[in-house]
Amino acid sequence: MEADYVVIGAGSGGSALAYRLAEAGRKVLIIEHGGSDAGPFIQMPAALSYPMNMGIYDWGFMSEPEPGLGGRRLVTPRGKVIGGSSSINGMVYVRGHACDFDHWAEQGAQGWGYADVLPYFKRMETWHGGHDGGDAAWRGASGPMHITRGPRRNPLFGAFIAAGQQAGYPVTPDYNGGQQEGFGPMEATIWKGRRWSTANAYLRPAMKCGNVSIIRGLARKVQIENGRATGVEIERGGKVEVIRARAEVILAASSINTPKILMLSGIGPAAHLAAQGVEVIADRPGVGANLQDHLEVYMQFAAQEPVTLYKYWNLWGKALIGAQWLFTKQGLGASNQFEACGFIRSDAGIEYPDIQYHFLPIAVRYDGKTAAEGHGFQVHAGPMRSKSRGAVTLRSADPREAPVISFNYMSHPDDWAEFRKVIRLTREIFAQPAMAGHVKHEIQPGVAVQSDDEIDAFIREHAESAYHPCGTARMGRADDPTAVVDPEGRVIGVEGLRVADSSIFPRITNGNLNAPSIMTGEKVADHILGRRLPSENVEPWINPNWRVAQR
């Protein structure tokens, strides 16, 4: 078993990369531990709470007890299925802010500034949002990823956007275009009523052309001979074998599994590897370090009128939605229900948004377990650039064992101040006339929660991960001892080995991470092929009063 390129992980980065390499005539083998993405739980957008809680599709990772969150262990879903996490995520599509990528470049990821990555975002997408306004010049028209917007038929979506405007924030017709800051319609990787994962967009077309094939197995480690990656040791059917790579091995196994596989292969912090009995091939202290995520709280409100999705929150309602979707791919089943959003700045002196809102016309937990108090709605709200950093480390040298995941949430004092602002600014938005008529009362945190201490206690007890882990194989200058890969995605200190997933993000981007992860696969493929799209010098909108005004 051999190919020009062996890719570990059939997820967002790996699928996009394999597609581009295959398009250029290269033979690619993808190693994926998970199985098929067929079935309504994955393909029906409204069923999104199911696959991320199903062991057949999810690796089932948990964080260690988090000291900043009262010792709670948070679930860390990662896709173990064709399409990876793009097959189990919330389907929200956010590129990130232009300044995020310029910051990457400043941190040593040369060639990854916004002007450099914008052409790749455009290449990967076919945008269907033009009827709402927005500037098509910023968007792609012929890429594999179809990007759509929900119909926003529920009056609460419009009310939320209007309330943001009444509170003094801008409205943006396209947060993925020239202006992220403001309130507006949310975009999704949904096409013709189905989840448009990277399996549907990239993998299936690539496999049809014959240059890409998938092997089901557990990647144990990268085989390295004389300082060069030559293949991947996998376990399948109870046997261990090696898949040979004629040119390169590419890791795209997620920001949790990629550092784990690097460490099992002898690439990582030398003392930690030695303690686990792993032979050190390259001492890279940055492997597994720099772990970041977005935390959020669900602010929930009871509704005055029965206009929320709660009326379908019963067996009969769910069956009805499911049947309509099964036969027509239309109706409520064809939306992830995240159809309105906002990006705002928490304070004067902050150059670009650092708070994100996802609005949802039902008050419910992410795992779909409980709907609160009947008719209600909620907004997922959280800071974008926490200064806390965690780590992924080996539990043992056994490849079958899950790594140790410590996010260190809320370990930086600024996190608390930022989160308090999130809650107070959100309450102000929901008190605006457009929304006030819909609000009966605040369910969570509840009006009794007012002081800093009360808000902090609420956060400690109720903050949830937005499931955006990244940063554990940071990209930087080749001479930076804490960097893991250089700006072409090459692992520093080993030949023939690259990383092409969210592990390489120097710092977490604004919003959901699926779009930048796909872009990473697209761009690293071009680095492998020795080509690049020309940079686009465009000026994204920055609030002209950002130095002196919060809005």
pLDDT surpasses 90 at 369: no
**What does the pLDDT look like over 423-433, one tens digit per residue?**
999 999 999 99
pLDDT surpasses 80 at 367: no
Average pLDDT over residues 443-462: 97
The pLDDT of residue 133: 85
Greatest Cα-to-Cα distance within the chain, rounded to the nearest angstrom: 69
Tokens in use for 358? 């996802």
Tokens in use for 112? 């990854």
Task: Name the nearest CA neighbour of 289 among 404, 397, 396.
Answer: 404
pLDDT surpasses 90 at 348: yes
- Asked whether the bond before 445 is cis by omega within 30 degrees of 0, the reply is yes
Average pLDDT over residues 366-394: 90
Which secondary structure element, helix H or strand E, spans residue 232, and what is its range? strand 228-236
CA dihedral 531, 122, 35, 249 (to 10 degrees): 20
Q: Domain spans of the chain?
A: 1-150+187-287+469-539, 152-185+295-383+411-462
Instruction: Fold for 152-185+295-383+411-462, please state it.
Output: Cholesterol Oxidase; domain 2 (3.30.410)
Task: Name the nearest CA neighbour of 264 among 252, 277, 251, 254.
Answer: 277
Q: Does 152-185+295-383+411-462 match 1-150+187-287+469-539 at the fold level?
A: no
**Which residues sit opposite 350 in a β-bridge?**
none
The pLDDT of residue 373: 77
Task: Name the nearest CA neighbour of 502 among 528, 475, 466, 537.
Answer: 475
Contact 147, 189 (CB under 8 A): yes
- Entry pTM: 0.98
The fraction of the chain above a pLDDT of 70, given in percent, is 99
Alpha helices in 410-550 (DSSP H): 413-430, 433-436, 452-462, 514-528
The catalytic residues are: 468
Residues contacting 210, CB < 8 A, separation 6+: none
**Helix, strand, coil percentages in the chain from 3-state DSSP, rounded to 5:** 30, 25, 45
**Which residues sit opposite 390 in a β-bridge?**
291
The pLDDT of residue 379: 98
Residues contacting 366, CB < 8 A, separation 6+: 49, 298, 464
Sorting pLDDT into bands at 50, 70 and 90, what band is 372?
confident
**Which residues sit opposite 2 in a β-bridge?**
244
Instruction: Fold for 1-150+187-287+469-539, please state it.
Output: FAD/NAD(P)-binding domain (3.50.50)
Of 244-258, 367-381, 457-471, 481-495, the poorest mean pLDDT is in 367-381
